Amino acid sequence: MEKKHGFQLNLYGKHHIANIILAIKIGEMYQISYENIVTAIHEFKPVEGRMNLLKNKKRNIMLMNDAYSCSSIDAVKLGLETVNKINNNRKIAVLGRMEALGDQAIEKHEELGKFFESLNFDYLYITGGFKKYLAEGAKNAFKENQIKKFKTTEKLITALDENLADGDLIYVKGANTQNFNRIINHIKEKYEVK
């Protein structure tokens, strides 16, 4: 009879399950004990900026740091779907442009905006070269005052500070060249999320 092993993931997103199953199978191939496999899975943490959930437990503010890179619409959708399943008071998506989309850039940003129709987000904060198309795609998913476009990251941060409240969850995703780490670092420091 096979022994059953349970474990808890420190990862967010269903896409990690296939990777975990593959890691278990490789561990089995190399005759690594299940205890060691389970320990390794439990201790694994994602790379900084890849779906890291940070929290201020006292104020119940959460920050999903997915700001490492943004060049795939599928990755952004997966991140948004994952955050959509987390319980909290309000959800705020902070998005920049997706890079390396070539001739499809306008179409893909509009498609991403339309994707919000299947989600439950309260605000969309956007900056970057394709913000107009992202906002256009999202117009049926939000009221007019819930979509906020910014010329600079600094103005976005200021507006976020004016709106952020206890119980909010902020999802941040943008192209590396936009240096959204400024947003991440500001929220970490000001709102003491860890």
Long-range own/partner contacts, residues 187-192 (CB < 8 A, 24 or more apart): 187/63, 187/160, 188/54, 188/63, 190/161, 191/56, 191/59, 191/61, 191/63, 191/164, 192/56, 192/58
What digits encode the pLDDT tens for the residues 102-124?
899 999 999 999 999 999 999 99
Tell me: domain 52-191, CATH 3.50.50.60, correct?
A: no
What digits encode the pLDDT tens for the residues 150-170?
999 999 999 999 999 999 999
Best mean pLDDT range from 63-72, 93-102, 108-117, 175-184: 108-117
Best mean pLDDT range from 2-11, 13-22, 95-104, 148-157: 148-157
Give the pLDDT confidence score for residue 1 in this predicted structure.
47
Question: Please, which pLDDT band fits residue 175 given cuts at 50, 70 and 90?
Answer: confident
Q: Where are the domains of the chain?
A: 7-45, 52-191
